[in-house]
Amino acid sequence: MDKATKIKIGGVMQKIHIISRDEANPVILFIHGGPGGINRHDVLHNHLDLLDRFTLVGWDQRGVGGSWTGVDMDTVCKDRIVEDAAELTERLCEMLGKDKIFILGLSWGSCVGTLLAARHPEHVAAYVGYGQLVNGHQNETESYGWVLDQARKAGNAEDVRVLEELGEPVMGMYKGGYDGLFTQRGLLKKYGGVTPNSHETEYYSGKLEKMKASGEYTRADMKGYHAGTAEVLNRIWPEIGALDFPNTNTKFEVPFFIFQGHQDMNTPWTLVQGWYDKIEAPQKDLIFFDNSGHNPMSDEPEAFKKAVREHFEPIIAAAKCRI
């Protein structure tokens, strides 16, 4: 199966792409970050070696990419996207003959995945968060403070000036909204807080070229990316700033795993351990990838996918339902 299609989720048509060599295989749904950061061109093209064991599903969340057309942007919010994810997991189970599927959530997608696992565990076989969000306010405070400290250590007066003029975020919010956030993120990338593999100052440098080269997106999908990504982020970001998982979400009914880059200061790795220690779940594990930043699936792909297999295989073997 190699099927890119739109299905109605939460009352609107949303784009998914399913790739499988054997529909009997367990299913992994990737929940992208951003918000608005569609990633089918990555997860469904750079990690096809997982197809020997898994069916892979990419999804453009409402309001962006292939799920932009016809969406009332006033409906774009955290809880609505979590409900969309719950509806999608149920639909995928129906379509692929499963009772439960695996969830991988990156960055903002880890917020959606965490809340999906907490609120709608019935169709979740296990959850993996990477670039895991923990507390929105602390996330931005630590990230901002770290990059400002790096700029001062480097003696880069211009970067220090830019950051001091931008100012410390308030409840995760920077002056200038989207533009302010990506001023900080660009400098964060420059100083190695996003990935050790690039020190460019453009946060999404090369992404458009990779999206186009992949052949994954139609012209309509690309139009929806350009039209939707900034608005989706601006609408949801204040809700991210209010996140506080250590005080709101510590008990889960599904296996709960966090795969975090040890050099990640986008969603700072320093916040993860304290929350993880509070988590109660049937199984849990926290793995740090020493040579990774925000996205260890890209920074250390072989080690990341090895960990996915090692954590999912015992769950598949012990399953008393269709996975």
Q: In what order do the strands lie in the sheet with 27-31?
A: 2-9, 12-19, 55-59, 27-31, 101-106, 124-130, 256-261, 284-289
Largest CA distance in the chain: 60
Handedness of CA 261, 229, 83, 47 (dihedral sign): negative
Which domains are seen in the chain, by residue range?
2-135+218-318 (3.40.50.1820), 137-190 (no CATH)
- Helix, strand or coil for residue 101? strand
| CA nearest to 85, candidates 2, 3, 16 | 16
How far apart (Å, rounded) are the C-alpha atoms in residues 3 and 160?
Answer: 48
Average pLDDT per block of 10 residues along the chain, 323 residues long: 96 98 97 96 94 98 97 97 98 97 98 98 98 97 98 97 96 91 95 88 76 94 95 95 97 98 97 98 98 97 98 95 92
pTM: 0.96
How many CB atoms within 10 Å of residue 186? Answer: 19
Predicted pLDDT of residue 205 = 63
Question: What is the C-alpha separation between 141 and 168, in angstroms, rounded?
Answer: 7
- Strand, coil or helix: what is 40? helix
Task: Give burial (CB, 10 Å; 0-12/13-18/19+) of 239.
Answer: middle
User: If DSSP codes are grouped into helix, strand and coil, which group holds residue 35?
Assistant: coil
Q: What residue spans of the chain are helical by DSSP H?
A: 40-43, 78-96, 108-119, 136-154, 157-166, 178-190, 207-214, 219-241, 245-248, 272-278, 296-299, 301-318
**Amino acid (one-letter) located at 130:** Y
The whole-number pLDDT of residue 211 equals: 93
